Structure 1
Amino acid sequence: MKLNRSISLMLASTAFISIANAAFALDGNDVLAKLNALSSPNGTSFAAQGSEVDGTTVKLSGVTVTMSSIDNKQLPIGDVTLTGVTEEDGGYEIEKASFSDLNVVENGSGIHAKDIFIEGISLPAQPEPGTISSLMLAQSFHVGETKITSDNKEVASIGAFTADYKMADDESKLDMEAAVSDIKIDTSATPDPKAKEAIEALGLANLNGALTMKGTWTLADGKMDVTEYALDFENLGRLDVNFSISGYTLEFVKSLQEAMKAANDNPDKAAGQQAMSMAMMGLMQQLSYNGASIRYDDAGIAPKVLDYAGKQQGVDGKQFAQSIKGMLPLLLAQLNMPELQNQIVEAANAFLDDPKSIEVTAEPAQPMPFPQIMGTAMGNPADLAKTLNVQITAND
């Protein structure tokens, strides 16, 4: 009797587990639907020919993406495998989304990328516009070795592209970092003889470098600080752009999404785009400019450029630099901005004598609404440099 009861209990337990597993099994179509609910306000939608579920893995086959930004053209992206998928409050948490290698070739030109994946994706049950749940956020994004071909010849490549996002525990701030490593560009195949001559003279036939980006987004006031956006190439130099704006709030994002959706839903595409432009002009009034800078650090190319340009004029690089210094005040006189003209001349003279770095900053004493900046630019452009507190320095 005890044995029979044990067997009955075991069978009942097995049946219960089977029923429970069936009840909580993932639905690949629902995962796709949740993804589209999150991405469609941004003008992007996904479709799949089929889906398979194996435990916490969902495989979507024959996936295509349609984006309004490219005339709703449907682009095939192959199979997508979602691993570590768990249901949470009617939505889904996805540990990793892995994509098929990308191989797009047309008329001898193409792009080839592998090892593409996204980690840490959250798909809410019902994204609420104007909240953090309405944003397509992930913890990281990765694209491995990528090659670009033209006329069946490789002209550029990157080692990897990575992007990492970290949300504060109280969801008040988002930190962002991105990098493109091992950038290689072959410029030797240019068909223009003059350009080819200049490239060879300057030693720029093969460029090697990297791109880095760092930024912070504070959600309450919509302050977006990009503290580094730098291109750094060997034997060429480093170009770094920083900027800060305010007003890019979740409510702003909501209004932007609504404007995009209205434009996409309008059967008259020209009218839709016109309405989108008008909406953007209105939205710009909510943004304020905090400041920006652009800095270039030379890595040896400036003296070569002076030598090459001077050679075309029958002089050496130093003589050519002196001629530029002599002409610059005359060329700048038409600006009618004495203070800015003096800054430009002083910085240019210092850089031409000893090319190290040059930097332009525009940091007003307090944040300025974009409409005020545009109004000043149209009404009295000469005052714009003062209004933005433009400063130009060299070799600092």
Structure 2
Amino acid sequence: MMRINKIQGLMLASGMATLALMQPAMALDAQTFVDRIAAVYKIGGYDIQFGAATLDGDTITVDGATVGVTGVEEPWTVDTTLTFTGVAEGDDGSFTADALTIPDIDTEFAQDPVGHVSLVDITATDIYLPPEDKVNVTALLESVGSLTTGPLSVTRDGTEVISYESIEAVNEFSYDDANALTDIASTFAVNGIWADLSTVSEEDAEAGAVIQALGLTEINGNISQTMTWGMTDGHLVIEDFLFDFADIGAINFKADISGLTPAVLEKIYAMDAASTGSTPEEQQAQQMMVGMELLQALTLTGSSLRYDDAGLAPKLLDMFAAQSGADRATFVEGLKAMVPQLVGQAGIPALTDLVTPAANAFLDDPKSIEVAVRPATPTTLLVLSAAAANPAGLISALGLAVTANQPSAE
């Protein structure tokens, strides 16, 4: 009987010792997870200090965080619980999590007038953190699959002044046979943006009068972006970066650039990190060195910035004509006479010849205007910067074009 009691006692002691050893290990796993997040985002210039992290099954809850950003004096405090679900550790020491959720925001941010903001359904999904020895820029790029929110509402003394329906940012990753990241396809959208600008006059009477004159007391629109990015050659294609607002207009930016590889990004981020504590002279020298490397590494295939009017330009012309005491036709003719003089101040006749016809066409019939650069062949930024010594030659090297009221070139 004494031997049985001793065995039972040893088993109980062993069990308690095992439990005691397991608890620090569980806490360490949670802490290791958040430390890995901080390490990944530190590469991008973020200094994240997480609160206490607790593990429960495959869920890690974190008691808030403080986020500092390189170049920004005041850190941002996240004073709420962060919940990571579906957390798993890989055999290689990597981590994955199904989702990060943040409690809905419903709080006042000002007192006079009373400002209130609410934002719901804040979620990040498909989180990946590499092993400790593989924390690099690529890891930062593939750390999150999607980030979404539900509706945002901002009120002023109980009246809604700004809202949107949702934000959706989605990344799709492609990998080679060795499981190395090869391509990223990204979409981003802010849907259903709405703002009431009728109260601007209470803060700025002059701006309020302009808003009233243009009929912009309420605006509605969307922001969207579509992009692909190859890691091997750094081929970045921004297919659309569109700001589209009803009864105002749409601004769309497109670009096709090669050479923006993770290695190049690494140098940019390293330069930002090294600038902390450096003298202005040291910062300038390092920026010049990295700048030259970028100019040599990046190749421009094409880029464009286009504005399609949806009613704003005619209203602006009418308003300015009325302020000048002339009718619109007379006012437009005066503007057209000024265009060559204004552009001519650059001292580049070729630029004046390029811009004037498009500007005149837009003033006569404001539908669209586009500025595009399309070199005959993809050209490094270093070659283009050297061509800048001869502005007329640079215009030719860039394939610079300014057009008005023409269909968008896809």
TM range (shorter): 0.7 to 0.9
Partner of 1:332: 343
For the 8 Å contact 1:39–1:136, the answer to whether it is kept is no
Partner of 1:40: 42
Q: Which segment is superposed worse, 67-76 or 315-324?
A: 67-76
Check 1:143–1:282 CA distance in 2 against 1; reply closer, same or farther (3 A cut). farther
1:109-139 deviation digits (Å, cap 9, x = unpaired): 6765332111001011225366633545211
Q: Which segment is superposed worse, 136-145 or 281-290?
A: 281-290
Partner of 1:6: none
**Consecutive unaligned residues in structure 2, runs of 5 or more:** 1-14
Partner of 1:91: 94
Aligned-partner SS, 2:86 = strand
Q: For 1:115 and 1:272, how far apart are their aligned partners in 2?
A: 45
For the 8 Å contact 1:262–1:272, the answer to whether it is kept is no
1:243 aligns with 2:245: no
1:223 aligns with 2:235: yes
Partner of 1:76: 78
For the 8 Å contact 2:43–2:137, the answer to whether it is kept is no
Partner of 1:125: 131
Quote how far apart the aligned CAs of 1:354 are: 2.3
Normalising by structure 1, report the TM-score: 0.84
Partner of 2:149: 143
Q: For 1:269 and 1:153, how far apart are their aligned partners in 2?
A: 49
> Which amino acid counterpart does residue 396 of structure 2 have in structure 1?
K
Check 1:131–1:352 CA distance in 2 against 1; reply closer, same or farther (3 A cut). closer
**Consecutive unaligned residues in structure 1, runs of 5 or more:** 1-14
For the 8 Å contact 1:145–1:160, the answer to whether it is kept is yes
Select the residue among 209, 216, 225 that pairs with 1:197: 209
Alignment of 1:60-71 (within 5 A): 60-71=62-73
> Which amino acid counterpart does residue 337 of structure 2 have in structure 1?
G
For the 8 Å contact 1:237–1:299, the answer to whether it is kept is yes
Q: For 2:108 and 2:290, how far apart are their aligned partners in 1?
A: 33
Q: For 2:185 and 2:384, how far apart are their aligned partners in 1?
A: 28
Check 1:136–1:124 CA distance in 2 against 1; reply closer, same or farther (3 A cut). same
Quote how far apart the aligned CAs of 1:57 are: 0.9
Partner of 1:320: 331
Q: For 2:116 and 2:275, how far apart are their aligned partners in 1?
A: 31
1:243-274 deviation digits (Å, cap 9, x = unpaired): 1222211111222232233234x3x5757754
For the 8 Å contact 1:82–1:94, the answer to whether it is kept is yes
1:384 aligns with 2:394: yes
Partner of 1:10: none
Alignment of 1:97-112 (within 5 A): 97-102=100-105, 103=107, 105=109, 112=118
1:125-160 deviation digits (Å, cap 9, x = unpaired): 225366633545211011332345679975433222
Quote how far apart the aligned CAs of 1:106 are: 5.5
Select the residue among 177, 180, 183 that pairs with 1:173: 183
Alignment of 1:147-166 (within 5 A): 147-148=153-154, 155-166=161-172
Q: For 2:269 and 2:192, how far apart are their aligned partners in 1?
A: 35
Aligned-partner SS, 2:63 = strand
Q: For 1:131 and 1:208, how far apart are their aligned partners in 2?
A: 37
Quote how far apart the aligned CAs of 1:166 are: 0.5
Aligned-partner SS, 1:277 = helix
For the 8 Å contact 2:40–2:135, the answer to whether it is kept is no
Check 1:359–1:72 CA distance in 2 against 1; reply closer, same or farther (3 A cut). same
Quote how far apart the aligned CAs of 1:363 are: 1.0
Quote how far apart the aligned CAs of 1:279 are: 4.9
1:301-326 deviation digits (Å, cap 9, x = unpaired): 22211111111122222332222223
Check 1:362–1:157 CA distance in 2 against 1; reply closer, same or farther (3 A cut). same
Partner of 2:5: none
Partner of 1:5: none
For the 8 Å contact 1:140–1:163, the answer to whether it is kept is yes
Normalising by structure 2, report the TM-score: 0.81
For the 8 Å contact 1:358–1:393, the answer to whether it is kept is yes
> Which amino acid counterpart does residue 381 of structure 1 have in structure 2?
P
Q: Which segment is superposed worse, 306-315 or 139-148?
A: 139-148
The size of the alignment, in residue pairs, is 377
RMSD of aligned Cα (Å):
3.1
Check 1:73–1:342 CA distance in 2 against 1; reply closer, same or farther (3 A cut). same
Quote the sequence identity (%): 30
Aligned-partner SS, 1:137 = coil
Q: For 2:270 and 2:349, how far apart are their aligned partners in 1?
A: 46
1:301 aligns with 2:312: yes
Quote how far apart the aligned CAs of 1:224 are: 1.2
Partner of 1:214: 226
Partner of 1:348: 359
> Which amino acid counterpart does residue 34 of structure 1 have in structure 2?
R
Quote how far apart the aligned CAs of 1:60 are: 0.8
1:281 aligns with 2:291: yes
Quote how far apart the aligned CAs of 1:107 are: 6.6
